[in-house]
């Protein structure tokens, strides 16, 4: 009996050792775009988690106790940085496991809000500090160049934590790079016909994407999605819409700003949406490309219909 028991104990111990050797590396990202990049890197190995639910704002999300526990327990955390997720630094101080603020990665091509940005005209004191001239534009995931840098860092981290799957991570990175090359060609072809056409946005979130594909918004109604512009600014922007004529005004889902209909009433202006976060995009291998391609299609589709 004792011999059988010893064999049983040895079997269980070996099983646990094997299981621990192949334990899944748990990855948590703050926002959906980072989850989609991680999903491409982890394809066939694991599915990364995301902290913010669809429709939640990364600027002012309120963490639940379960969110805090998750942040503390996962193996790797990726976030943009304090210029985007202002609610996270206090919680991250308690982490002992690796945490990566991607805005600090070497090789990132970062932009800053311009001193002459139209989004700061006349009522800048009503806006939050996150979008003031000279501060970092943290919507950096909308640049394919930055997505490659982020994916490369994730591969390095995962390969170190899970060397058994290092070859798979490298293969996934190569495939991701190739898909981004193809996406870049498609987007350049899709957007070439609308380059130079005027359009307006409610939130200054798309400069990285515009810079990559030769676009430029004509004006901004509010620098942050949660901030309502002042009456003087609204009047000035309505005058600008009248001067431009046929154009598109883009808001972000899930909610269209309350003043949108009033702002464009009686003008040859179309209201449409651009989704910078892709909150409802499934965490699949090609999710990141789907977000950028939809962004390009939605923008071009509205401008072409004028």
pLDDT of residue 235: 85
Model confidence over 108-125: pLDDT tens digits? 999 999 855 544 333 333
pLDDT of residue 118: 45
Model confidence over 69-80: pLDDT tens digits? 999 999 999 999
Cα–Cα dist 4/26, whole Å = 36
pLDDT of residue 279: 93
Residue in the structure block whose two tokens are 């192949």: 22
Residue-by-residue DSSP string for 44-100 = TT---EESSPTT--TTS----HHHHHHHHHSSEEEE--TTT-TTSHHHHTT--S-EE
**What CA dihedral angle connects 73, 77, 81 and 85, to 10 degrees?**
-50
- The neighbouring-strand residues paired with 220 are 201
pLDDT of residue 134: 82
pLDDT of residue 2: 54
Which residue ranges in the chain fall short of pLDDT 50? 1, 5-21, 118-129, 223
pLDDT of residue 216: 96
């Amino acid at each position: 009996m004792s011999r059988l028991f010893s064999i049983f104990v040895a079997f269980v111990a070996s099983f646990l050792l094997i299981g621990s050797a192949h334990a899944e590396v748990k990855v948590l990202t703050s926002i959906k775009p980072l989850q989609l990049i991680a999903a491409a890197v982890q394809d066939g190995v694991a599915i990364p988690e995301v902290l913010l639910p669809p429709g939640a704002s990364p600027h002012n999300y309120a963490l639940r106790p379960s969110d805090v526990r998750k942040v503390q327990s996962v193996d790797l955390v990726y976030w943009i940085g304090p210029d985007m997720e202002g609610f996270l630094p206090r919680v991250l101080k308690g982490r002992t496991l690796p945490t990566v603020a991607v805005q600090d990665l070497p090789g990132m091509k970062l932009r800053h809000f311009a001193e002459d940005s139209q989004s700061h005209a006349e009522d800048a004191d009503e806006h939050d500090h996150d979008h003031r001239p000279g501060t970092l534009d943290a919507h950096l995931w909308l640049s394919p160049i930055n997505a490659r840098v982020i994916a490369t860092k994730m591969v390095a981290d995962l390969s170190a934590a899970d060397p058994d799957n290092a070859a798979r991570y490298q293969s996934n990175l190569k495939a991701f790079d190739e898909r981004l090359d193809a996406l870049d060609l498609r987007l350049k072809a899709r957007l070439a016909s609308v380059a130079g056409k005027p359009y307006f946005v409610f939130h200054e979130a798309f400069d990285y994407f515009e810079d990559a594909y030769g676009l430029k918004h004509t004006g901004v109604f509010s620098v942050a999605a949660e901030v309502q512009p002042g009456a003087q600014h609204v009047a000035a922007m309505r005058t600008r819409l009248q001067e431009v004529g046929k154009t598109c005004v883009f808001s972000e889902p899930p909610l269209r700003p309350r003043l949108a209909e009033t702002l464009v009433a009686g003008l040859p202006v179309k209201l449409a949406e651009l989704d910078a976060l892709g909150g409802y995009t499934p965490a699949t291998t090609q999710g990141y490309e789907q977000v950028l391609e939809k962004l390009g299609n939605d923008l071009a589709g509205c401008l072409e219909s004028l």
